[in-house]
Amino acid sequence: MNAKGDLIARVLALGLGVPTFEAETSGPAHDRTFHATVLVGGRPLGAGGEGRSKKEAERVAAESALRALDGEPPGAAPPRPAGERWPIYAAVLAEALDAAVELSSDDATLDEVRADAARLYRDLLSDLGHGPEAEDA
- The confidence score (pLDDT) of residue 94 equals 77
The answer for 122, left when phi > 0, alpha when psi is -120 to 50, beta otherwise, is: alpha
- The confidence score (pLDDT) of residue 56 equals 93
pLDDT in tens, the chain (137 residues): 688 988 988 888 888 888 999 999 999 988 899 999 999 988 999 889 999 999 999 999 999 998 888 877 655 445 444 445 566 777 777 777 888 888 888 888 877 887 787 778 777 776 666 655 433 43
Q: Which CATH code of 3.30.160.20, 3.30.70.3270, 3.40.50.2300, 3.40.1440.60 fits the domain covering 3-79? A: 3.30.160.20
- The confidence score (pLDDT) of residue 80 equals 43
- The confidence score (pLDDT) of residue 91 equals 74
* DSSP code at position 81: P
Domain boundaries, the chain: 3-79, 83-136
Nearest to 52 by CA among 28, 27, 33, 37: 33
What CA–CA distances, in Å, run from 129 to 13, 17, 46, 81, 108?
A: 22, 30, 30, 16, 30
- The confidence score (pLDDT) of residue 48 equals 92
- The confidence score (pLDDT) of residue 136 equals 41
* DSSP code at position 48: -
- The confidence score (pLDDT) of residue 123 equals 73
